[in-house]
Amino acid sequence: MFFLKELPTKAMLDKYTSALTNHEKNSIAEAFSIMRQASLLVRSINTHFSANNLSQLRFLILIVIDREPDRTSLYAHEIASRLDVSRPVLTRTLKRLIEEGLLISTHDETDKRAKNISLTKKGMTCLSKVLPGYFNEINKLMK
């Protein structure tokens, strides 16, 4: 998502930011650094995930359900409110996770629009299988 292998040098940046203050130039250099670091993190995390048939979003959906205190399910709109992703993408991703047996969806009696989503055994197993490698990947790159 930030695909520049070599971050611009200060001199390079100056070519484009002559009108900015030094403070602004530093902020921009820092932003580049953050975006590049995050890109590398996301890259290697995604590699780990796809080896386990997951993705960032698929993983996060499982996690937000699992981590919810005192509950074993969430409404789709609650998942949506915790994740910064568009509704159609969430709909599709939930659909796939349900098809693959990682989640199950039940209808709500009081609100017929709502869908109640919970982890299956398979979903929980998947999560616990992927978590150690996930933290491991992060730690490798944060050194």
Residue 84 interacting with DNA (CB under 7 A): yes
Among 7, 10, 14, 38, binds a copy of itself (CB under 8 A): 38
Q: Is 75 in the site for a copy of itself (CB under 8 A)?
A: no
Nearer to DNA, 85 or 141 (CB): 85
Structure-derived torsion over alpha carbons of residues 128, 95, 49, 34, reported in degrees to the nearest 10: -110
Residue 121 touches which member of DNA, a copy of itself, none, C-beta under 5-8 Å by kind: none
> Is position 7 an interface residue for a copy of itself (rule: CB under 8 A)?
no
12 binds a copy of itself (CB under 8 A): yes
- Please tell me the count of residues contacting a copy of itself according to CB under 8 A: 44
Roughly how many angstroms between the first and final C-alpha of the chain, as a whole number?
21
Least distance in Å: CB of 47 to DNA? 7
Backbone angles phi, psi at 119, to 5 degrees: -75, 140
Rounded CA gap, 73 and 65, in Å? 6
In the set 115, 123, 126, 127, which binds DNA (CB under 7 A)?
115
* Structure token digits, residue 14: 């100056």
Task: Please report whether residue 3 would count as binding a copy of itself according to CB under 8 A.
Answer: yes
CA neighbours within 13 Å on the CB side: how many for 21?
3
Q: In what order do the strands lie in the sheet with 115-119?
A: 73-75, 115-119, 103-107
Which positions lie near DNA, rule CB under 7 A?
Answer: 1, 3, 50, 55-58, 75-77, 80, 84-89, 91-96, 110-115
